Amino acid sequence: MDGARIPILKVGRVLVVPIQFDMDDQTVIHLQERILHELERTCARGVLIDISLLEMIDSFIGRMLSDIAAMARIMDARTVVVGMQPAVAITLVELGLELKGVETVLNVDEGFKLLRAEFNTPDEEEEEFYWETSVIGK
Amino acid sequence: MESKSLALENDRDIAVARGLVRKIASDLGFRLIDQTRLATVASELARNVIKYAGSGRLIAQPTESASGRAGLRLIFEDKGPGISNIGNAMRDGFTTGGGLGKGLPGSRRLVDEFNIESEIGQGTRVTIVRWK
């Protein structure tokens, strides 16, 4: 449950954030700060947040996702959330959360397609990506 | 299955509460969607306890209806300041805590029974039931 353990990977001009376990509030806040820091440091243009292993989104996490998208937008980056489980989607709607400003797609492939279309660059160029794992201390 | 009680004392306990509730719901044989609903409600209501009262506790009671239907009752209680206007608190988008105002009204939509008792200066108790 330690924020420093959620990796932020840079793939081409996209920051990939795989959320692999339930996060407590501090971890969520910490992750948000790290994503913004990495956006500034790397000049990435997109943020892809993979929530396929996330079993629940409450109003706190929902707001964090909206805030990340809004802040990233101000920093000229687009955010896409991928892989939401059906049970999570149903619960979100019943709860009345809209995830304002957050684009959602079914999987990582679709997420990359959407972001690359936004950057308007040929795929070959984006394919020349490099991996960089950033783990910033607490 | 017997009742379980969990002290809610800080932010981390919110995640512990939803994990515990999901586990109990799963052990009771609730469907995945209902496990998700119950875990989400637990998260919202445990957060209210921490946010408004500082601390409190969660009691999870497996229960059975008069007709023999199995269910799970969750009680969130605190000795906090209480809610001055429950009508407002239950309204979508109303908040005194800087949040989205979805916690209470949203939680009510996720469960079958929802009851809230509160007395100024005494505390608040929210009781919910979801039937299988």
**What averages of pLDDT result for each successive group of 10 residues across chain B (132 residues)?**
94 96 97 97 95 96 93 96 84 75 86 94 95 96
CATH class of B4-131: alpha beta
* Contact in structure between A68 and A47 (CB atoms under 8 Å): yes
* Contact in structure between B106 and B43 (CB atoms under 8 Å): no
Name, in order, each residue with C-beta under 8 angstroms of A119's C-beta and a sequence gap of 6 or more: A13, A45, A46, A126
User: Six-digit token pair at A67?
Assistant: 């805030």
**B111 min Cα distance to partner chain A (Å):** 10
SS3 B61: strand
Name, in order, each residue with C-beta under 8 angstroms of A96's C-beta and a sequence gap of 6 or more: B92, B102, B105, B106, B109
Report ipTM (2 d.p.). 0.89
**Per-residue pLDDT at A126 exceeds 60:** no
Q: Domains (ranges, CATH) in chain A?
A: 9-124 (3.30.750.24)
* Contact in structure between B61 and B3 (CB atoms under 8 Å): yes
Q: Which residue has the tokens 């376990």?
A: A21
| Contacts with B12 from chain A: Cβ below 8 Å | 1, 24-26
Check residue A137 and give its pLDDT: 40
**Which of B18, B36, B37 is best to mutate for the A interface (most A CBs within 10 A)?**
B36
Tens digits of per-residue pLDDT, A50-84? 999 999 999 999 999 999 999 999 999 999 999 99
Q: Identify the contact set of chain B against chain A, taking CB-CB distances under 8 A.
A: 11-12, 14-15, 18-19, 22, 32-33, 35-37, 39-40, 43-44, 47, 92, 99-100, 102-103, 105-107, 109-110
**B128 min Cα distance to partner chain A (Å):** 15
Check residue B128 and give its pLDDT: 97
